[in-house]
Structure 1
Amino acid sequence: MDFAGAYSGEFLAFLMEGLLVTLKIALISIVLSFTFGCIIGIIRYAKVPVLAPVLGVVVELLRNLPLLLIILFCRFALPDVGIRLGAEGAAIIGLTIFEMAMISEVVRGGLNGIPKGQIEAARSSGLSNVQTLRYIVLPQGLRQMVPPLVSQFISLLKDTSLATAIALAELMHNAQIIIGHSYNYAIPILLLCAVIYFTVNYLLSLLSRRLESKTT
């Protein structure tokens, strides 16, 4: 083990470059997957004709596919149909597609958890279906969704490491390059990566607890 060599300024800067790519990919994917996941979850909750059953099939298909397969498909298969994505674009699209399916189920479950009595009371008071969803169901459902949503975001952040399979210069990709210089760097570099992932994810979990306490 060579901690001094592994933690040289050059290697640490290289790792931080990878971390920035990881955070960038994760942030963009979180925003996109949350947006599309909410839309799909609401459509399925509202049982919109045609759309809801079709999206249900799509969600079940995506949830039962390996994320790595989806990322590889975006990078290497889409060019065959004229869609060319770089490593970064393929990682973002792959993560978004997979996570939006997961998040849509979280959203649908959260909305279905609202007591039927409250919905009936809102409808009897003259609110339309859209108003009931907007003012009664969504505010309460979102509060219940905070913990599972943050759990999905943490999983997404960790799953960015799969993008090393398409040579995206994220944290683990750069870590492997450093280790390639000398296997004596393996333990120090992997330990540092573990600390980095733990720190970022732990901060996300603390944020989740804070948000949960504010909404209860």
Structure 2
Amino acid sequence: METFIHAYSWIDIRFLLQGLWVTIYVSVISIILSFILGLICGLVRYMKIKYLSAAVGFVVDIIRNLPLLLIIFFTYFGLPKLGLIANPTIASIVALVVFEGAMLSEIVRSGINSVPTGQMEGARSNGMTYGQAMIHVVLPQAIRNMVPAILSQFVSLIKDTSVATIIVLPELLYHAQIIYSQNTSYLIPMYLIIAVMYFIVCFCLSKYANHLQKKYL
């Protein structure tokens, strides 16, 4: 018990909260950018644009079947060889956006496919262009269908930020490792407290997802 009391000193808790802030910051940026990327790629794949849709689908399939850790290694160690990205935070965001964007693109494509084709045909017959029908009629219905899967993917993204500790991203897990490396008796207390922190963040997002699902579905 004394070990836990010492491990949870205000100095250590504050240090962990700094790591949690980095986790949330990277997650929020990655969530916004990966949703935009996933939406664009999903639309391109759905519209079956000659050559472009096939090329995007090929790249998405490759990324979806690669481990996130490999993509993080590539962005951090590979891109600097091309004169790009050396910062762990930027490298982590790029890797997460690429990986999660590929996952979300499949959710978007499936969500659009779930909307009856008659919705598009009805909108076009009322004088809308293809783009107007997609934006005002099809997408709103598709997004309602996609909400649970998208938010579930966002929860996974938050947990995936811990993988970036391998490239010294100063997120929650990395800060915990620094603390217990100075005193190995703190290892269990640190893993318990970061488990609680991850649970709180992910649980809140999951409850929000359930709220949206009840509200819009």
TM over 0.5: yes
For residue 82 of structure 1, report the CA deviation from its aligned partner: 1.4
Per the normalisation by structure 2, the TM-score is: 0.96
Aligned mates of 1:6, 1:51 — CA distance in 2: 54
Amino acid of the structure 2 residue aligned with 1:176? Q
Aligned position for 1:24: 25
Q: Which structure 2 residues correspond to residues 22-61 of structure 1 after superposition, within 5 A?
A: 22-61=23-62
Deviates more, 1:82-91 or 1:145-154: 82-91
Aligned position for 1:78: 79
For residue 46 of structure 1, report the CA deviation from its aligned partner: 1.2
Aligned position for 1:165: 166
Aligned mates of 2:25, 2:136 — CA distance in 1: 33
Q: Which structure 2 residues correspond to residues 193-204 of structure 1 after superposition, within 5 A?
A: 193-204=194-205
| RMSD over equivalenced CA pairs, Å | 1.1
Aligned position for 1:136: 137
Aligned position for 2:179: 178
Aligned mates of 2:131, 2:173 — CA distance in 1: 45
Aligned position for 2:96: 95
Aligned mates of 1:49, 1:215 — CA distance in 2: 35
Amino acid of the structure 2 residue aligned with 1:119? M
In structure 1, the gaps of 5 or more residues are none
For residue 182 of structure 1, report the CA deviation from its aligned partner: 1.7
For residue 165 of structure 1, report the CA deviation from its aligned partner: 0.3
For residue 57 of structure 1, report the CA deviation from its aligned partner: 0.5
Aligned mates of 2:123, 2:75 — CA distance in 1: 44
% identical aligned pairs: 48
Aligned mates of 2:195, 2:167 — CA distance in 1: 21
For residue 160 of structure 1, report the CA deviation from its aligned partner: 0.3
In structure 2, the gaps of 5 or more residues are none
Aligned mates of 1:196, 1:9 — CA distance in 2: 15
Amino acid of the structure 1 residue aligned with 2:116? P
What stretches of structure 1 move > 3 A for 4+ residues in a row?
none
Aligned position for 1:104: 105
Aligned mates of 1:66, 1:95 — CA distance in 2: 11
Aligned mates of 2:215, 2:51 — CA distance in 1: 38
| Partner SS state of residue 45, structure 1 | helix
Amino acid of the structure 1 residue aligned with 2:204? L
| Partner SS state of residue 84, structure 1 | coil
Per-residue Cα deviation, 1:36-66 (whole angstroms, up to 9, x for no partner): 1111111111112222111000100100000
Aligned position for 2:206: 205
Aligned mates of 1:134, 1:96 — CA distance in 2: 23
Amino acid of the structure 2 residue aligned with 1:14? F
| Partner SS state of residue 145, structure 1 | helix
For residue 211 of structure 1, report the CA deviation from its aligned partner: 1.2
Amino acid of the structure 2 residue aligned with 1:44? R
Aligned mates of 1:141, 1:85 — CA distance in 2: 38
Per the normalisation by structure 1, the TM-score is: 0.97
Aligned mates of 1:130, 1:84 — CA distance in 2: 36
